[in-house]
Each structure stands twice: as C-alpha cells, then as structure tokens.
C-alpha cells in the first residue's frame, strides 16, 4: 500500500471520528438523563482525541489531514435530533442511534486494520479500533439495561 493510499484511508477514519465526536455531542445535548449525558460527552471527547491523533499521523506521513466529518454524518445527526424530538429525549432511542453509528465506525476501522499498513500507523489504528469496539459493547449493554427497565437519573 502506498503512502498516499494510507493517507487517504486515515483521512476516511478522521471523518468517521469527527462524525462520532459531533454525533455524541448531539446525543449528550438531546438525552434526558445525566448518566447518559456524561457517557456521551466522554465519547465525544474521545472521538475528538482520536481525530487529532489521526490528523497528526497524516501530517507525519506528509499528507494534508481531513478537518471535518462527512455529509452522511450531518444527516445522521439530523436523524438523531428528529428521533430525540419524537421520543422526548428517550435514552433508548438515542442509545440505538449511537449504537448504529458505532457499528459503522467499527466497520470503517476494521477495514483499515485489515489493510497493508505497518509500524506506528498500524499501532494507532489498532488501538483506536479496540477502543471503538469497547464503546460499541458498552452501548449494547446500556441498551439492554434500558430495555430491562433500569432507570437513569433524569435531567431537570
């Protein structure tokens, strides 16, 4: 795989992370319970950090890093806002939106991990991929808890 190909793939992951950062920020703003608001805020910060690390790696490789998310990410956040409005900030609806987006992030990172990348770039992508898979697993647990009737503290 050429350096240019690696840069292009990393820029795709930057878009994915920026979409996640903004998506989790929207989830935190729309959810009506403090525990989930805290979780989503934390994930938004993580995705911002992931994007900055990937941007630094693109620069190290001599490329120009992506600076924003994608149009599809903007559409997904709009969908989350609509779901939130229709469900009055329901935790289960917002968790489901996040879980669906997280599944797409897992697929994007899995794709790049399975490419012919090496060294520092591979280590970075594998580390972020693992963290995203852990986030997805946590969202699945949160969705199960919410479905089982576990009550989260609501915001006023």
Fold of 3-147: Ferritin (1.20.1260)
Question: Contact 154/33 with Cβ under 8 angstroms?
Answer: yes
Tens digit of each residue's pLDDT (9 = 90 or more) over 44-64? 999 999 999 999 999 999 999
33 forms beta bridges with: 154
What backbone phi and psi angles, to 5 degrees, belong to 82? -65, -45
| pLDDT at residue 30 in the model | 85
Q: Provide the pLDDT confidence category of residue 156 given band limits of 50, 70 and 90.
A: very low
SS3 content of the chain, % helix, strand, coil (to 5): 80, 0, 20
- Residue 153 pLDDT > 50, yes or no? no
For the residues 98-108, what does the mean pLDDT come to? 89
| pLDDT at residue 7 in the model | 96
- The pTM of this model reads 0.84
Other C-beta atoms within 10 Å of 3: how many? 11
Other C-beta atoms within 10 Å of 153: how many? 10
Least confident range from 25-29, 113-117, 135-139: namely 25-29
**CA–CA distance, 111 with 136 (Å, rounded to integer):** 16
**CA–CA distance, 110 with 113 (Å, rounded to integer):** 5
| pLDDT at residue 87 in the model | 58
Q: Provide the pLDDT confidence category of residue 85 given band limits of 50, 70 and 90.
A: very low
Tell me the average pLDDT of the chain: 84
For residue 104, give the DSSP letter: H
Tens digit of each residue's pLDDT (9 = 90 or more) over 17-43? 998 998 899 889 888 889 899 999 999
């Amino acid at each position: 795989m050429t350096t240019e190909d690696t840069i292009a793939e990393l820029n795709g992951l930057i878009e994915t992370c920026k979409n996640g950062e903004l998506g989790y920020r929207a989830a935190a703003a729309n959810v009506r319970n403090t525990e989930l608001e805290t979780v989503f805020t934390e994930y938004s910060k993580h995705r911002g950090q992931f994007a900055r690390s990937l941007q630094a790696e693109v620069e190290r490789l001599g490329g120009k890093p992506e600076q924003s998310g994608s149009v599809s990410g903007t559409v997904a956040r709009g969908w989350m806002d609509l779901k939130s409005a229709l469900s009055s900030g329901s935790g289960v609806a917002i968790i489901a939106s996040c879980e669906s987006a997280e599944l797409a992030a897992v697929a994007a990172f899995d794709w790049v991990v399975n490419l012919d990348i090496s060294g520092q770039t591979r280590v970075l992508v594998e580390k972020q991929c693992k963290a995203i898979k852990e986030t997805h697993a946590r969202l699945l647990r949160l969705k199960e808890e919410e479905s089982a009737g576990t009550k989260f503290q609501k915001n006023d």
